[in-house]
Amino acid sequence: EAQVTQNPRYLITVTGKKLTVTCSQNMNHEYMSWYRQDPGLGLRQIYYSMNVEVTDKGDVPEGYKVSRKEKRNFPLILESPSPNQTSLYFCASSLTGTGGSNSPLHFGNGTRLTVT
Amino acid sequence: GEDVEQSLFLSVREGDSSVINCTYTDSSSTYLYWYKQEPGAGLQLLTYIFSNMDMKQDQRLTVLLNKKDKHLSLRIADTQTGDSAIYFCAERETGFQKLVFGTGTRLLVSP
């Protein structure tokens, strides 16, 4: 089954303790992206990657890192989490970039992160 | 940056039509999308419209695009309780490899 898999689904951590949220897709997609969803703000892009070893900042990259060593994986790293990073995080992928009828975004089921 | 706005909440009765509205600012958007988010799940692409179209119909869904007013709407005919979800409007930002999402409209369908 074609899918984007994020882990964990839920995570509670304390300020300053490094964490990684994993994301994997099995569709051989070139493009991958991370979003955070906050009430009243919709989805905001954190980072995206056009292909292996190519990553770029989105709208809200501060406090986050990503890597794209393999095509299928795109982990999100919080080196020193803070309470304002409490949010619902989504990983997404598409065949080539975004948009177009043949390249829609496929989303994972989300990771709810709480930083105390 | 570009902005996409939606009303936050819509409540309808089962069997009625629902109309979810969206306004955007990027007049050179190429594609506009509607995504659906069910509880505990990610977003799923519902439908999209290319910017040179005024209307697109797909079964119970009708998308209307008014480029002059930068207004997009999604009409769901014969709304069912299973349509209860959050609906996001999104535009492809010209020249950038990303989608800009609206704040989402929570649709509640009551029996």
Please tell me chain A's helix, strand, coil percentages from 3-state DSSP, rounded to the nearest 5: 5, 50, 45
Q: What is the pLDDT of residue A95?
A: 86
Distance from CA of A46 to the nearest CA of B (A): 11
pLDDT band at B1 (very low <50, low <70, confident <90, very high): low
For the record, the structure tokens of A55 come out as: 């990553």
Query: What residues in B contact A100, CB-CB < 8 Å?
Result: 31
Per-residue pLDDT band for B97 (boundaries 50, 70, 90) equals low
pLDDT band at B104 (very low <50, low <70, confident <90, very high): very high
Nearest Cα neighbor of B97 from A58, A17, A74 is A58
The pLDDT assigned to B2 comes to 66
**Is the pLDDT assigned to residue B96 strictly greater than 80?**
no
Amino acid identity for residue B94 in this structure: T
> Choosing among B86, B99, B100, B106, which should be mutated to test the A contact, i.e. which has the most A CBs within 10 A?
B99
What pLDDT shows up at residue B41?
Answer: 85
pLDDT, tens digit (0-9, with 9 covering 90-100), for A5-17: 999 999 999 999 9
- Which residues does residue A92 pair with via DSSP β-bridges, in sequence order? A33, A107
Phi, psi of A74 (to 5 degrees): -150, 75
B48–A104 C-beta distance less than 8 A: yes
Cα-trace Rg, chain A: 13
Chain A positions touching B30 (Cβ under 8 A) are: 99
Predicted confidence (pLDDT) at residue A68 exceeds the cutoff of 60: yes
Q: How far away is chain A from the Cα of B9, in angstroms, using its nearest Cα?
A: 11
pLDDT (tens digit per residue) in A50-63: 999 999 999 999 99
For residue B8, give the chain A residue with the closest CA.
A40
